[in-house]
Amino acid sequence: MIVVTGGAGFIGSNLVKGFNDQGRTDILVVDELSQANKIKNLADCRFADYMDKDEFLKAVQTDSFDVPLEAIFHEGACSDTMATDGRYVMQNNFTYSKALYQFCQRNKVAFIYASSASVYGAGEVFEETPEFECPLNVYAFSKLAFDNYVRANPPKGFQAVGLRYFNVYGDREQHKDGRGASVAFHFFNQYKDQGHIKLFTGSGGYADGEQRRDFVSVEDVVKVNQFLLENPKVNGFYNVGTGRSRSFNDMAMATLNALHKLEGKQGVLSLEQAISDNMLRYISMPEALHGKYQSYTQADISALQKIGYEQPFYDVEEGVARYIERLWQQTEREEVI
């Protein structure tokens, strides 16, 4: 049996569905459902069992599982990059992860977990080595603290991999609050509700909307996780991104053009036309983000390629178009209901 923590969340539920698509249903989903609308993420998924995250932690600490576990995909975490309760964040992202890791050490269970590209902070080199790591907030600090715990206690006789996700977008994120969802999801809803998309004005030496991130489809994230399960000798830390930074303007235009096509309109909108037609507007960055905002990220995926991962990643235009079409179809179904 494989375990997916955070299994009703964004990446976790996509992993469950991805394993279902491979024919696997021997999955234990672990989550915390005080936010009950997350169940929609699992509505079309099949799994063998479900446990609350506190119940699962007790079972981990006492080694009390009825069936052997093959792997734990640890996606559960406090993912709010603007969280200010450091004690809560460390309990969820460091202490909980450490207990799972120690269980995997004792029982030789593969441990593949979500780290984060936020550990690189404001740097412009994104290689999986300590000299380029400098977190800007407590969320990033918690992720790096656990990475460093793994470094200090390297795996012996079992697989342990930390995946440093860059800016992930895609299906099954609709439950997230305003701060947690991807910009593609925000852009879609802004356009549907207000007829325009909002971006930040220039910062960090970048012009309006030209701040750059490595935007990666959750479809590709699932494939990387599946690849690692199929390659149990692989250990270490790996960036998961496309290897190419794109501007927020690029993301906005990919969204607008996908919606333009779905509305039955002809032609491809340009950035200049979108600004002129007031479909794209720029707003000031909130004070709370000053000094804590990554204006540029671009995954160095050479380490991932070196271990044999050769699948191409969706570029922004194709990946966003696929996602926006599914959001559009879902919205239409909900309006009919």
Query: 193-223, pLDDT tens digit by residue?
Result: 999 999 999 888 899 999 999 999 999 999 9
Question: Domain limits of the chain?
Answer: 2-170+216-243+298-314, 183-211+246-294+318-336
Annotated active-site residue 96? The verdict is no
Q: Quickly list DSSP for 210-279.
A: --EE-EEEHHHHHHHHHHHHT-TT--EEEEES-S--EEHHHHHHHHHHHHHHHTT--S---HHHHHHTTS
187: helix, coil or strand?
A: helix
Question: Strand pairing partners for 74?
Answer: 5, 113
Give the Cα separation of 155 and 153 in Å (integer): 7
CATH homologous superfamily for the domain 2-170+216-243+298-314: NAD(P)-binding Rossmann-like Domain (3.40.50.720)
Model confidence, pTM? 0.94
Q: Are 193 and 181 in contact (CB under 8 A)?
A: no
Give the Cα separation of 120 and 141 in Å (integer): 10
Tell me, what's the pLDDT at 335?
A: 60
Which 8-state DSSP code applies to residue 285? P
Tell me, what's the pLDDT at 279?
A: 96
Nearest Cα residue to 75 out of 240, 214, 213: 240
- The values of phi and psi at residue 174, to 5°, are -65, -20
CA distances from 60 to 31, 157, 273 (A): 14, 19, 56
> Among 176, 238, 296, 323, which one carries the catalytic annotation?
176
Question: Strand pairing partners for 112?
Answer: 73, 161
Give the Cα separation of 170 and 335 in Å (integer): 21
Tokens read off for 315: 């570029």
201: helix, coil or strand?
A: coil
Tell me, what's the pLDDT at 223?
A: 98
Query: 168-184, pLDDT tens digit by residue?
Result: 999 999 887 666 789 99
Annotated active-site residue 282? The verdict is no
Tell me, what's the pLDDT at 79?
A: 74
Query: 303-314, pLDDT tens digit by residue?
Result: 999 999 999 999
Give the Cα separation of 59 and 185 in Å (integer): 36
Ranges under pLDDT 50 in the chain: none
> Among 96, 113, 139, 169, which one carries the catalytic annotation?
139
